[in-house]
Structure 1
Amino acid sequence: MGEKSKNTGEIKVTSGKKEFSKGDLAVYPAHGVGCIESIESKEINGDTMNFYMMKIVENGMVIMIPTSNVESVGLREVIPEKEVPEVYKVMQEKAHGADNQTWNRRYREYMDKIKTGSIYDVAEVFRDLFQLKLEKDLSFGERKLLDTAQNLLVQELSTAKDIDEKSMMQEIEDLFN
């Protein structure tokens, strides 16, 4: 029943479609960009399992991700820089008609999109809430979601473009001016 931990250092894990190595940057849904700090083997109930130890860049939180669950938890690579203009296109589209829904229904819908881990879904949430904010006051929950979506976008896009977050935020603001 106890847990034994052993840091296995530089091993590469090849389960699932994507393998990550120590030092790789990756995106964990709803938490943002993190760095694979190590790959560790832990014995749990007599079974040895490998885990990615991922440190979230923004807040330093460490997440243990079973290497066999990479796809199911939505862990993915940071988008390549050439994909950034596609994300910008999504942000510049007209918001989808969410104004006839109650705020709590919108909130649930937007939270589900953020949890997918797709930068395109996060861009849609940001776009819709940003445009809604221009028309009316957002609820507290919607403001928090807008901030979350903005932070997730800035983290990943600045990483993809290899620029600082302040410059990335300015680029996003320029899209809406």
Structure 2
Amino acid sequence: MFQVGDKIVYPMHGAGIIEAIEEKEILGEKQHYYLINMPMGNVHIMIPMEKVMNLGIREIVDRDTMDDVLHTFHDHKSDSSVAWNQRYRKNMDKLKTGDIYKGAEVIRDLLRINKDRVLGAGEKKMLDNAMQMFISELVSVKKITEEQATDLVNQFLHKDA
């Protein structure tokens, strides 16, 4: 399991740091909880230790993996012929896995579609959330500011544009 100080990613929420492990009694039941600080948004959450694996929480990736992920913004072709509601469900499933490569695919594909036509409100919000989750991990991995991370992502996104 995780230790205090570990940098983790909570799918659909982004990167955080385990600040403490505490036993708490909630509704008459004692359990051990991870207390996690999510710097993006300055949110603190408690997650029961026994549920961590089911939630897809993982350690942040290493620098080499992050560099590889940044290059996936140019990989593969996107299929924009799929109906938006099917694409939305498929992309939501990708984001829920917490897999950084799948998250980068969602960002890449939605940005490519957005070049051809305006995204609907749901997909626009999904793109914004996916970008925030990605940037939060990039900040932790590269030890840079949120602004620097945003600039770095934009450099890769617009490299061959």
* Common topology (TM > 0.5): yes
1:30 and 2:18 matched: no
1:79 and 2:61 matched: yes
Kept after mapping to 1: 8 A contact 2:78/2:112? no
Is the partner of 1:71 in helix, strand or coil? coil
| Structure 2 counterpart of 1:102, from 83, 99, 106 | 83
Q: Which 4+ runs in 1 deviate beyond 4 A?
A: 44-47
Please state how far the C-alpha of 1:33 moved relative to its aligned partner.
1.0
The CA RMSD over aligned residues, in Å, is 1.6
Superposed, 1:1-150 pairs within 5 Å as 19-44=1-26, 47-97=29-79, 99-150=80-131
Is the partner of 2:4 in helix, strand or coil? coil
Task: Extract unaligned runs of 5+ from structure 1.
Answer: 1-18
Counterpart residue identity of residue 118, structure 1: D
Output the CA distance in 1 between the equivalents of 2:43 and 2:13: 9
Kept after mapping to 2: 8 A contact 1:158/1:164? yes
Task: Extract unaligned runs of 5+ from structure 2.
Answer: none
Kept after mapping to 2: 8 A contact 1:95/1:127? no
Q: Could you tell me the percent identity over the aligned residues?
A: 37
Partner deviation per Cα, 1:70-118 (whole Å, 9 max, x = no partner): 2111111111112112202322113431x11221221111111111111
Output the CA distance in 2 between the equivalents of 1:49 and 1:93: 44
Output the CA distance in 1 between the equivalents of 2:149 and 2:39: 16
Output the CA distance in 2 between the equivalents of 1:172 and 1:46: 46
Please state how far the C-alpha of 1:62 moved relative to its aligned partner.
2.4
The structure whose Rg is larger is 1
Provide the aligned length of Structure 1 versus Structure 2: 158
**1:44–1:147: structure 2 CA closer, same or farther, 3 Å change rule?**
closer
Counterpart residue identity of residue 34, structure 1: G
Output the CA distance in 1 between the equivalents of 2:151 and 2:43: 26
Tell me: higher relative CO, structure 1 or 2? Use CA pairs within 8 A at least 6 residues apart. Answer: 2
Counterpart residue identity of residue 78, structure 1: I
Kept after mapping to 2: 8 A contact 1:95/1:131? no
